[in-house]
Amino acid sequence: MSSKARREYLEVMQERYHSASCQERSTLLDVMEEVTRLHRKSLIRLMYRRDIRRKPRSRERGRTYGSEVQRALCIIAESYDYLCAERLHGNLSWMAKHLAQHGELPPLTSGLLGQLECMSVSTIRRRLAHEPKDDYWLPRAKPKPANAILRGIPMRRLPWDEREPGYFEVDLVFHSGSNASGEFACSLHLVDVATGWSEIAAILGRSYLVIQNAFQRVLARLPFPIRELHPDNGSEFFNHYLMRFWREAAPQLVWSRSRPYHKNDNRLVEQKNSSLVRTYLGYGRLNTVEQATAMNRFYEKLWLYYNFFQPVMRLESKEAIPQPDGSYRVRQRYGTASTPLDRLRATGVLSQKDEETLLELRRATNPRKLRVEMRELADAILRMPSATAAHKVQDVYQTLYRPPTTTLSPSVTLSFERMETQAAN
């Protein structure tokens, strides 16, 4: 409680004190003693004062430190490169003697040294607050402004009960190992909330060029349109180059983002990062063109194996059950496990031609053989040598996806390409 607030409180209590009985006065003193932290005798004296308010000073207090001390303090602070008052305190007198030996200060008197020694931290801070500093001390550049694009992107979570496909949680998985310096491979991962459909693409580095190319790879094989993207707050997703790309590729696309330091806002993709990416490729460092190219070949097989043959469970309902202690327990009920392809077919967003093509691709695929191929390819990627210090430069253009020149829809084209490749093998 401030001094002013304490006085105002006592003014109110003074009226009640004088109109109370002896027993009531004792109770009021107990309350005032607890609130103000003043001694009981001090409170009694204040209750019988005519005016509790603090009286103004009859004359102002004189200056303790003169201009000579102020000038010496400024020179010493400049010699210390304008340290904070806490670090200057206790180190003024010996620096003054040192500067006087070098001719930076006039001959020192015992009075000046005594004032420098007893000067408090608050006084040092107050006396140096408005003193001009040399230009060298001033900051070289303005602070870096915040990402202006993020201001127009709302923060929220995608609803868990979303029924329409096309609402994707997005994340970037780093394959940097224990050292995050330099260029290394990353996995761009998208998971659809309604169906569990997963799209993964490997990139080398995090430039806007490779991020844009990874999204082009995803769009080429995705059999349904993207309605909303929900990444974290990374600048690899929110930059002018990528925003321009999406304005041209999907003008109706909606953006949202998770809250900073809240990984649960992207709970589905974070869980799939562990089961679809880390389970196969681990946490080691992958940083070469050969590794990134092989990762995309692996993700092609994983795309087929997971989306066509791996049943997933989705949350169907939540129920709050009251407990005896007054709290609530949430009961979650999950539906029957079904593959992302079957969930996608149930939504009715696929055209008849695309649905027949995808079903034909599933019928022509041996999942047991595909699983062995995935394991062998993942082991081969982990056995590939990483870039050494002498060969750090990698040509990312060799890892870029080049869309086929065809008039068919991307999903149908890619599906037919996979069927032809499997028939040739």
Q: Do residues 293 and 399 touch, judged by C-beta distance below 8 A?
A: yes
From the CB of residue 370, how many other CB atoms can be counted at a distance below 10 Å?
A: 17
Q: What is the mean pLDDT of the chain?
A: 88
Residue 390 confidence (pLDDT) = 55
- Enter the tokens of residue 87: 């670090």
Q: 109-134: string of b/e by CB count within 10 Å (b at 16+)?
A: eeebbebbeebeeebbeebbeeeeee
| Encoded tokens for 379 | 């082991």
Higher pLDDT, 157 or 424: 157
The pTM assigned to this predicted structure is 0.64
Q: Mean pLDDT over residues 45-69, rounded?
A: 81
User: For the chain, what's the residue count?
Assistant: 425
Three-state secondary-structure class, residue 155:
strand
Taking only the tens place, the pLDDT of each residue in 302-353 is 999 999 999 999 889 999 999 999 899 999 999 899 999 999 999 999 999 9
- Per the CB < 8 A criterion, the answer to whether 399 and 292 are in contact is yes
State the Cα angle at 33 between 29 and 37, rounded to 5°.
Answer: 165
Instruction: Tell me what pLDDT residue 408 has.
Output: 40
Residue 395 identity: D
Whether the CB-CB separation of 285 and 184 falls below 8 Å is answered with: yes
Distance CA 294, CA 353 (A): 31
- Phi, psi of 323, rounded to the nearest 5 degrees: -105, 160
CA 34 to chain centre: 45
Contacting residues for 253 by C-beta, under 8 A, at least 6 apart? 226, 227, 228, 229, 246
Which residues, 6 or more positions from 74, have their beta carbon under 8 angstroms from its beta carbon?
128, 131
Counting beta carbons within 10 angstroms of the beta carbon of residue 61, is it exposed (0 to 12), middle (13 to 18) or buried (19 or more)? exposed
Which amino acid type is present at position 273?
Answer: N
Q: Over the stretch 97-153, which tens digit does the pLDDT of each residue have?
A: 999 999 999 999 999 999 999 999 999 999 999 888 776 656 666 666 678 899 889
Q: Cα 314–315–316 angle (5° rounding)?
A: 110
Domain boundaries, the chain: 3-47, 67-136, 151-424
Instruction: With a cut of 50, say whether residue 232 has pLDDT above it.
Output: yes
pLDDT band, residue 425 (cuts 50/70/90)? very low
- Mean pLDDT lowest for which of 204-208, 231-235, 390-394, 414-418? 414-418
Q: What is the pLDDT of residue 423?
A: 39
| Matching CATH number, 151-424, of 1.10.1520.10, 3.30.420.10, 3.20.20.70, 3.30.56.10 | 3.30.420.10
Strand order in the sheet with 228-230: 198-204, 185-192, 167-175, 228-230, 254-255
Q: What was the pLDDT predicted at 404?
A: 67
Extract the tokens encoding 250: 């999907």
- Angstrom distances, CA of residue 373 to CA of 89, 178, 199, 294, 295: 70, 28, 19, 12, 13
Examine the pLDDT at 35 and tell me if it is beyond 70.
Answer: yes
Burial (Cβ within 10 Å: 0-12, 13-18, ≥19) of residue 319: exposed
For 330, phi then psi, to 5°, come to: -90, 120
Rounded to an integer, what is the distance from CA 99 to the centroid of its chain? 48
What pLDDT, in 10s, does the model give residues 75-103? Answer: 999 898 888 999 999 899 999 999 999 99
The predicted-structure confidence for 184-197, as pLDDT tens digits, reads as follows: 999 999 999 999 99
Query: Lowest mean pLDDT: which of 21-35, 254-268, 367-381, 409-423?
Result: 409-423
